[in-house]
Amino acid sequence: MVITEDEDVIRISQKEHRIIQLIADGKTSPEIAEDLNLTLHTIKWYRKQLKEKFKVDSTAQLIRVAIEQKLV
């Protein structure tokens, strides 16, 4: 998936997109890990990577950007 923001192109995988959707649904990291059959450590890593990609500091900011980009 490609998202354009301020002329930057941000590429996210289907897995990253799914994780953003689950976060927006209010799921916790342990719940996401269980839903996706991944470890908690892996989910925390994905969350960190997503925040870095979108240049945000918090989950709330991540979801705000995801909503603006119509990811959720």
For 22-68, write each residue's pLDDT tens digit.
Answer: 999 999 999 999 999 999 999 999 999 999 988 899 999 999 988 88
pTM for the predicted model, two decimal places: 0.84
| pLDDT on residue 6 | 62
Q: Which pairing describes strands 8-11 and 2-5: parallel, antiparallel, or unpaired?
A: antiparallel
The residues spanned by each domain of the chain are 2-68
Whether 66 contacts 24, CB under 8 Å:
yes
For the record, the structure tokens of 15 come out as 């897995």
- Please state, in angstroms and rounded to a whole number, the distance separating the CA atoms of residues 33 and 22: 10
Architecture of the domain whose range is 2-68: Orthogonal Bundle (1.10)
3: left (phi over 0), alpha (psi -120 to 50) or beta: beta
Residue 19 has pLDDT above 90, yes or no: yes
10 pLDDT band (50/70/90 cuts)?
A: confident
Where does the pLDDT of residue 1 fall: very low under 50, low under 70, confident under 90, or very high at 90 and above? low
